[in-house]
Structure 1
Amino acid sequence: MADDEEADAEPTVQLGDGRSVEGAPVARVAARLTWPQTHSDIVAKVGETEIRTPDGPEPLESVLESVDDTYFDRRQTFVESVLDVIGREPVATE
């Protein structure tokens, strides 16, 4: 009987108002790779992927041009390096 009550209940979490954000989060891109990775391997594998930045979507390859590291031992190291370049400000919606 409890299952029937849950099925009829309204959702308790708002799922958003429909505004879309262009580009993929850098953490999602990083999660798709196995670590460690070299700079050149990342560019070859996912360099064309557009990531979210506060200024709008930007190809990962162009962001990585500003990163001095050539080797990333962990996913977190890569994400931090990218965030140091693009910033940590909120991403604008449409």
Structure 2
Amino acid sequence: MSDEDANGDGDADDTPTVQLGDGREVAGAPIARVAARLTWPQTKSDILEKFGDTEIRTPDGPESLATILESVDITYFDRRQTFVAAVRDVVGREPVATE
């Protein structure tokens, strides 16, 4: 028995969709998503090579990770938390603006 036949009518398109949030988009990627895509430890140069052009969400709008890391003095991040904390020290911890 297939998944489509499980509900008896054979039409999976009748499933209601659920809207998450209020529909406003936020520009840029969360720093946690970038950090989760890396294995740790990482050097600053490796992070820039892999994700330097990625736009990160900040309270002032999206900003490239390369620009943010220019202000970070650390060149070796031993843990994900160290990296995230360093980025947040630069961009701040305020809420991110929506469109």
Task: Return the TM-score normalized by structure 1.
Answer: 0.85
Q: How many residues align?
A: 85
**Secondary structure class of the residue paired with 1:63:** helix
* Other-structure match for 2:84: 79
- Give the superposition deviation at 1:16: 1.1
| Aligned counterpart, 2:98 | 93
> Aligned partners of 1:55, 1:78: CA distance in 2, in Å?
20
In the TM superposition, 1:1-94 aligns within 5 A as: 15-94=20-99
1:14 deviates by 6.9
Amino acid at match of 2:35: A
- Secondary structure at the aligned position of 1:90 is classed as coil
CA distance in 2, matches of 1:90, 1:78: 19
| Distance (whole Å) between structure 1 residues aligned to residue 51 and residue 20 of structure 2 | 29
Deviations 1:10-63 (A, max 9, x none): 99x972110000000001000000100001010001000000000000000000
The gaps in structure 1 that reach 5 residues or longer are 5-9
Greater share of helix = 1
Helix, strand or coil at the partner of 2:28: coil
Distance in 2 (CA, whole Å) between partners of 1:57 and 1:24 is 8
Identical residues among aligned pairs (%): 76
Secondary structure class of the residue paired with 1:55:
coil
Counterpart amino acid of 1:38? T
User: What amino acid maps onto 1:54 in structure 2?
Assistant: P
Q: Cα RMSD over matched residues?
A: 1.6
